[in-house]
Amino acid sequence: MCGYAMAPMSTDLLCLLATTTGTGLCVASANAFNQWIEIPYDAQMSRTRNRVLVRNALSPFHAFTFGTITGIVGVGILSTMVNQLTAILGASNIFLYTCIYTQMKRMTIANTWVGSMVGAIPPIMGWAACTNNLEIGSLILGSILFAWQFPHFNALAWNMRFDYEKAGYKMMVVKNPSLNSRVSLRYALALFPLSIMIPFTEMTTWWFALDSSLINSVLLLGAYRFWKDSNDKSARDLFFAKIENFVDKEIEKEFNVSNIERKQHEEEIGFNFSFGG
């Protein structure tokens, strides 16, 4: 939970575990409902045709029941063991993913922006769990993950474009391939100012501005090549570069915690240790 780890408060182990468990159950609920809704469409795509519901290895009734139970329990844990704000964010994300994003995928290319909002909310939940507040730091973390998802997903979608078209999904890569690559490049560029904003909030030292710029430059190069010549290779290179970027940046954020925050942790919990992941 990078949001929890980066928040300027001491770590409460029980709260962190409850946040992780509750968020995980909310994710499980949203995914279960999504696959329950999309059974006939998943059957038409090579990437999803081996899912348990498509293969009848699990009944739709059991999937719906699982989604309902995990959603109720997940939101319940967040509400009773964390705080109401985090619970509201968790419940809202289940609704946003299943009732809006999943439906929009067959209606408009705007679905990708909504889906990226879904992916941006978990770090905000982590921050809210720690502080019971929505502060600028949480919004920056959410914005970084929001922007990160466009090069990541658009590169993945390139190699899945024929499957998406066959299943009737209105994806950028199907309806407007040139926009698909332009958006990837645009949000790869957006990662620079968003990352540089992190030290301003004293979440990290200024070394993170340099570290992130170096990593983002590699990503930008991949996005530029994908924009100049969209093909299977450039899409694959961008996709795997984004994974490496995400992992590296999470590591950098963990180990570039500011001296102010480090001192605060030492004073409040008696030793210099922070949870992350």
Question: What is the per-residue pLDDT for 47?
Answer: 85
Residue 1 has pLDDT above 60, yes or no: yes
- pLDDT score, position 202: 82
pTM of the model: 0.81
**Average pLDDT, stretch 186-210?**
90
Structure tokens at 188: 């790869």
Distance of CA 52 to the CA centre of its chain: 24
Please, how many CA atoms are within 13 Å of residue 270, restricted to the half-sphere of its CB? 1
- pLDDT bucket at 242, cuts 50 / 70 / 90: low
pLDDT, residue 209, reads 87
Distance CA 75, CA 95 (A): 12
The three-state secondary structure class of 235 is helix
Nearest 5 degrees, angle CA 63-CA 46-CA 110? Answer: 75
- pLDDT of residue 13 exceeding 50, the answer is yes
d(CA 254, CA 3) in angstroms, rounded, equals 11
Backbone φ, ψ for residue 257 (5° rounding): -65, 140
Residue 257 predicted with pLDDT over 70: no
Of the chain, the percentage scoring pLDDT greater than 90 comes to 67
Question: What 3-state DSSP class applies to 204?
Answer: strand
**Helices 136-159, 207-228: inter-axial angle, 10-degree rounding:** 30
- 206-229 mean pLDDT: 91
* pLDDT, mean over the chain: 86
Q: Which of 196, 199, 181, 195 is nearest to 256 (CA)?
A: 199
User: What are 59-91's pLDDT values in tens digits?
Assistant: 999 999 999 999 999 999 999 999 999 999 999
What pLDDT, on a 0 to 100 scale, did the predictor assign at position 46? 86
Give the three-class secondary structure for 173: helix
What pLDDT does residue 229 have?
92
